[in-house]
């Protein structure tokens, strides 16, 4: 039975058996036989030369993720391949392009150590299984392998819109044609800047911080104000304050003429941080380069995200912060793109006046018909007709009919596809659409993949800001792992040697049980998905000492029973029975301490508590079950009956047993 436990634990901890693994290997190390980076050359300029050479060889700039100069003879080039076949083509194109540029430099290309490499099986067992070199599968924390530590702050959000009649604008229009529509005698010396300052000053008098308020005069008659109110009551107070400022600034305006549209607002409700955590978890899970992120809710409005081993923290931060709110808006009929042939959606033209207006003005006057919440979570990336990448989307079944009816009723109108208030597409509806389509935007491969995972993960319910962002060096992590392993090995060796020298045969039994204990504990940590950090390693080292503590109590009781004259089997039985109370008391008090540390400690202390708790539980199993089973087996053999294998005073012990039997 114990042999079966050992095999199962070893498989869980090291996974020597499994399916042959396939990973996209799209990061390559390029080596040259002679220096290619002249002394004093600007590194940025050299990288641009490499990009030009790669582009000539068929590797476009939008397909390159990163180029890093390692030294004057080595480069590291990462591409944005979607599959292994594309990565292989990229590798061949990179090699061919650099060989043409440096024909006499002996160019070679391969995978850098530890990057993008799958485990190679040692032996293949049919088509399904392979035997791999055993490697610990436990997750290493941020302090052990480096990465990013980010604290995200959930923010409330409100957008208030105020409009006035075109005959009484906030500021005079820029064109003479529009000025003709202004009421006779209407005068204003206000500018967009002075009006914004008035509104901002009034809101700061309410206690708002200036950096938390955004005031924008979108058009001569349209004012938008973005704030961060705590609740509806505070939002209402802010809206009334703005209306009063406008009335004081423009006394000719009546309250009825200052229209406050229904604000768009989200507040920090109970459980909002947990919702954000779930969305972030789905986003990170979809990123293949992120392994075992640690996501925790802190308080009511903060989320801690730890990303061990992350290679591109800036891209990850962009994805984490992106609200990813997709909207399908119907653009007013009087607006059209100023440059229809260009892929620039910032400039629009008002057909009635011929004036060029901004996208912000068009968006403010457009009507939102559908949002990303109406989509299914099955977006896919694919090549577009122009050779760039597009994202395919599909609406939920119950929304498809509405989408079909909407597009059928608005043929000839512009339906803009907007992501986080930025226009991605502005197609003209030419026919009824059945409920699916594509999003174009001149995306690179990476941008299309990021948009796909954002749409599939869902939009954030509230905006986020980065409250804390720090990076742990991978070098520091490797040094920490090496020092921790060295300390652990020294500690284990000292325990093993002490037990063997002092307790002899029982010490050998304890050492065997200790080895099994380590395997089982690693398996438990893997199954429980525990992320091992430096405090966790400290907990493991402490638990190793706890693992032999029970054996020490048992062996001391065993010697006492032997000195009392009992036989080997009886002494083993009595030793375990009488030591059990002390073992239980010692371990239960430790478990209570672990529980207190877990519920009252910080994240690092919690990791220590978890590893120590699991270690104590496994140590009780190894001492009570494994050690006893091995001692029972050895005690029943002829070799195991020799008293000198249990205690130094074997002769005196034998004499004591003889006198005890004679007295009996």
The tens digit of pLDDT for each residue in 382-414 reads 777 666 678 888 888 888 889 889 988 999 899
| Residue extents of the structural domains in the chain | 22-118, 165-257, 474-663
Range 120-125 average pLDDT:
70
Q: In this prediction, what percent of the chain has a pLDDT beyond 70?
A: 87
Distance CA 2, CA 265 (A): 61
Q: In which band, very low, low, confident or very high, does the pLDDT at 294 lie, cut at 50, 70 and 90?
A: confident
pLDDT beyond 80 at 252:
yes
Q: What is the pLDDT of residue 39?
A: 61
Q: Cα–Cα distance between 96 and 81 in angstroms, integer?
A: 18
The model's pLDDT over 54-103, given as tens digits with 9 standing for 90+, comes to 887 777 766 777 788 887 888 888 887 766 777 788 888 888 888 888 88
- The number of helices, as runs of H, and strands, as runs of E, in the chain is 19, 28
What is the fold of 22-118?
Alpha-Beta Plaits (3.30.70)
Assess contact for 199 and 225: CB atoms under 8 A.
Answer: yes
- CATH entry 3.30.450.20 includes domain 474-663: no
Instruction: Give Cβ neighbours of residue 347 (< 8 Å, ≥ 6 apart).
Output: 337, 338, 339, 356, 357, 358, 359
CA-CA-CA-CA torsion sign (563, 566, 569, 573): negative
Give the C-alpha distances (Å, rounded to integers) separating 579 from 350, 515, 516, 552.
90, 22, 21, 9
* pLDDT value for 76: 86
Query: Among 168-182, 475-489, 569-583, 601-615, whose mean pLDDT is lowest?
Result: 475-489
Among 16-25, 286-295, 563-572, the minimum mean pLDDT is found in: 16-25
What confidence category does residue 224 fall into, taking pLDDT thresholds of 50, 70 and 90?
Answer: very high
Q: Does residue 484 contact residue 537 with C-beta atoms inside 8 Å? A: yes
Distances 203 to 80, 195, 230, 240, 255 between C-alpha atoms, Å: 46, 13, 14, 11, 19
DSSP state letter for 271:
T
pLDDT at 436: 83
Query: What does the mean pLDDT of the chain come to?
Result: 81
Looking at mean pLDDT, say which of 333-337, 381-385, 440-444, 637-641 comes out highest.
333-337
């Amino acid at each position: 039975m114990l042999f079966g436990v050992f095999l199962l634990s070893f498989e869980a901890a090291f996974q020597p058996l499994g399916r042959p693994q396939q990973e996209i290997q799209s990061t390559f190390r390029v080596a040259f036989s002679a220096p290619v980076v002249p002394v004093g050359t600007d590194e940025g300029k050299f990288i641009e030369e490499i990009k030009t050479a790669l582009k000539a060889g068929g590797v476009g700039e939008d397909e390159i993720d990163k180029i890093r100069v390692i030294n004057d003879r080595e480069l590291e080039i990462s591409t944005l391949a979607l599959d292994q076949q594309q990565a292989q083509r990229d590798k061949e194109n990179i090699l061919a392009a650099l060989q043409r540029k440096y024909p006499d430099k002996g160019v070679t290309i391969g995978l850098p150590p530890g990057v993008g490499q799958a485990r190679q099986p040692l032996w293949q067992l049919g088509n399904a299984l392979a035997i791999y070199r055993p490697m610990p599968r436990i997750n290493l924390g941020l302090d052990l392998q480096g990465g990013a530590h980010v604290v995200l702050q959930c923010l409330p959000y409100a957008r208030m819109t105020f409009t006035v009649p075109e005959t009484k604008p906030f500021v005079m229009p820029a064109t003479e044609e529009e000025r003709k529509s202004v009421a006779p005698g209407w005068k204003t010396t206000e500018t967009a800047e002075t009006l914004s300052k008035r509104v901002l000053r009034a809101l700061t008098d309410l206690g708002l911080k200036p950096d938390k308020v955004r005031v924008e005069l979108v058009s001569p008659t349209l004012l938008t104000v973005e704030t961060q109110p705590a609740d509806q009551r505070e939002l209402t107070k802010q809206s009334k304050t703005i209306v009063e400022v406008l009335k004081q600034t423009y006394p000719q305006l009546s309250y009825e003429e200052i229209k406050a549209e229904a604000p768009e607002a989200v507040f920090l409700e109970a459980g909002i941080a947990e919702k954000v955590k779930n969305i972030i978890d789905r986003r990170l899970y979809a990123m293949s380069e992120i392994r075992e992120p640690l996501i925790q809710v802190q308080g009511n409005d903060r989320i801690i995200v730890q990303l061990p081993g992350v290679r591109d923290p800036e891209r990850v931060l962009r994805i984490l912060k992106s609200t990813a709110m997709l909207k399908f808006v119907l653009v007013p009929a009087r607006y059209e793109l100023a440059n229809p042939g260009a892929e620039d959606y910032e400039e629009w033209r008002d057909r009635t006046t011929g004036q060029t207006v901004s996208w912000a003005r068009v968006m403010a006057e457009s009507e939102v018909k559908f949002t990303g919440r109406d989509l299914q979570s099955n977006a896919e990336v694919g090549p577009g007709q122009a050779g760039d990448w597009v994202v395919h989307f599909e609406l939920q079944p119950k929304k498809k009919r509405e989408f079909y009816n909407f597009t059928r009723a608005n043929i000839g109108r512009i339906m803009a596809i907007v992501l986080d208030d930025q226009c991605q597409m502005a197609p003209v509806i030419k026919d009824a659409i059945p409920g699916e389509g594509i999003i174009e935007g001149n995306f690179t491969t990476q941008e299309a993949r990021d948009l796909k995972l954002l749409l599939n993960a869902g939009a954030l319910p509230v905006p986020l800001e980065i409250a804390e962002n720090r990076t742990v060096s991978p070098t520091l992590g490797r040094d920490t792992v090496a020092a921790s392993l060295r300390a652990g090995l020294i500690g284990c060796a000292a325990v093993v040697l002490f037990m063997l020298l002092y307790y002899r045969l029982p010490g050998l039994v304890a050492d065997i049980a200790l080895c099994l204990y380590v395997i089982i504990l690693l398996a438990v940590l893997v199954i429980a998905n525990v992320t091992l950090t430096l405090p966790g390693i400290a907990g493991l080292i402490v638990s190793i000492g706890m693992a032999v503590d029970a054996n020490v109590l048992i062996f001391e009781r065993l010697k006492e029973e032997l000195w009392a004259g009992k036989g080997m089997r009886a002494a083993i039985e009595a030793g375990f029975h009488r030591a059990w109370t002390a073992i239980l008391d010692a371990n239960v008090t430790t478990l209570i301490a672990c529980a207190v540390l877990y519920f009252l400690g910080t994240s690092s202390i919690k990791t220590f508590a978890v590893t120590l708790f699991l270690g104590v539980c496994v140590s009780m199993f190894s001492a009570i079950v494994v050690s006893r089973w091995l001692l029972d087996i050895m005690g029943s053999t002829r070799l195991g009956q020799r008293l000198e294998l249990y205690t130094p005073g074997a002769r005196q012990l034998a004499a004591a047993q003889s006198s005890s039997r004679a007295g009996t």
